[in-house]
Structure 1
Amino acid sequence: MTNQSPTEQSLETLQDIKRMMERSSRFISLSGLSGVSAGVCALIGAWIARGWLTPYVDSDGSAQGEYHEHPLLQRMIFLALGVLIAALASSTFFTWRKARRSKLPIWDHASKRLAANMAIPLAAGGFFVLGLLDHSGWSYVAPACLVFYGLALVNASKYTLTDIRYLGLLEIALGCVNMYFPHYGLRFWAAGFGALHIVYGLIMWWKYERS
C-alpha cells in the first residue's frame, strides 16, 4: 500500500474527476490509426484518378477539352464514393477497437454531438460541390472539398480531442491556396486528404496510443 500525502491524494482525485468529465463531454476514442487508414485510402484513390485523368490533361494540369462532361466524370464520382466508404469503414474499425480496449462506448452523447457538428458543414459542402459540377466548375471541386472538410473538423473539435482542430485549419489553408492553382486540384486533394491525414494520425498515435 503506497503512502500518499493529502495533497497528492487531492491531485489524484482532481485528475480522476477531470478524466470523467472529459469522457462525458468529449469523444476521446478517436484513434490515430483511423487518420492513417483514411489517408492511405485517399492516396490510393488519387493514384487511380491520376491514371484516369492523364489522357485528358496537359503537362501543366490544365484540361484538354471539356472532359467534365465526359463519362469520366461519372467514374470519378463513383471512385470518390468508394474512397469515402473505404475510409469511413477503416476509420470506424480502428476507433471501435480503441473504444473497446478503453472500455468506452463508441456511440454515446459525445459521439452523437461530434457527428452532428461534422455533418452540417459536410452536408453544405456536398451541395456546394454538386452546384459546382452542375455549373462546370470541375477545377474548384478539390478546394471546396478541402475547405468544407476543414470547417467540419474545426466545428467538431469541441467534442473530441482538440488536436483535430489543427488538422482542420491546415485543410482550410490548403483549400484556400488551391483556389489559386485550380489545375492542380488532384495534388492538393491527395496532400490534404492523404498526406495530412497520415501525418496527423501518426502524431495522434504517438501522443495518445503508443503506450
Structure 2
Amino acid sequence: MTAEPREGRPSEAERSLEVRWIFPGRLATAVTEWFGRFPIETESREDSYLLEPRLPGLSVKVRGGMALEVKKYHGSPGILEVADCARGRLESWQKWSFPFSPADQYGGCEAGWRPVGKRRRISRFSLAGRQIVARAAMLHQEPQCDVELTEVRTIGQDWWTLGFEASGPADLLPSTLEATARLVFSHPLPGDADPDLDESKSYQRWLSPPQ
C-alpha cells in the first residue's frame, strides 16, 4: 500500500480529547433509539488500521480509502465520570490527515493491516454560552464535541462503540467533553452494556492490545 500525491494538502495538526467504549456483539435497537434523541448524521465506510509493525504512541489508518490518518497519543489526563452512568479513560491525541489515492493493488487486507467496517451515527454538540447544545453545523475553531455510535465489523465479528471527541481551543476541551457526556448520559444507556473502564479504549488499543 502506498500513499500517492493528489490535489490538496495535508491537514494542520488537530488536538482532541477523546473517550471511547467498545462492546462485543450487535448494536441493540434500544441503544439506537436512545441515541436518536439527538440529530444524527449517518455514514458507512471501511477503515484499515496498521497493526504491524507496532508503532508505540501512534495510531495509523487509511480512512475510507481516501485519507491516511496519523494520530499521536499524548497520554491520559484523567477519568471521565458521569455519576451512576459511565466511567471512561480520557485520552489526548494530535492528528494529521494526508490525501491518499489507493493503488490498484491495495485490497485493504495486506499483511500488517486490519480492515474494519463501520456504520456510524454522529451527533455534534457545541458550547452556546455556558450550555452544551446539539448543532447541525459547526463554526471553525468553535469548542465542539462529536459523539458517535458505531456498528463495527472485523474478522467476521460484530462489535459496537460509543465515542466522544472534543476539539477546538485546548483549554476548553475538558469542559466541552464533560458537558456533552452529562447531556448524553442524562438518560442512562439502556440494556446490559456498562460503559466502564474495562471497555474504555481507543480503536488502536482494542485492535492491538498490549503484549
Q: Place the TM-score, normalised by the shorter chain, in its bin.
A: under 0.3
Provide the TM-score with structure 2 as the length reference.
0.27
Q: Normalising by structure 1, what TM-score?
A: 0.27
Q: Whose helix fraction is larger, Structure 1's or Structure 2's? A: 1
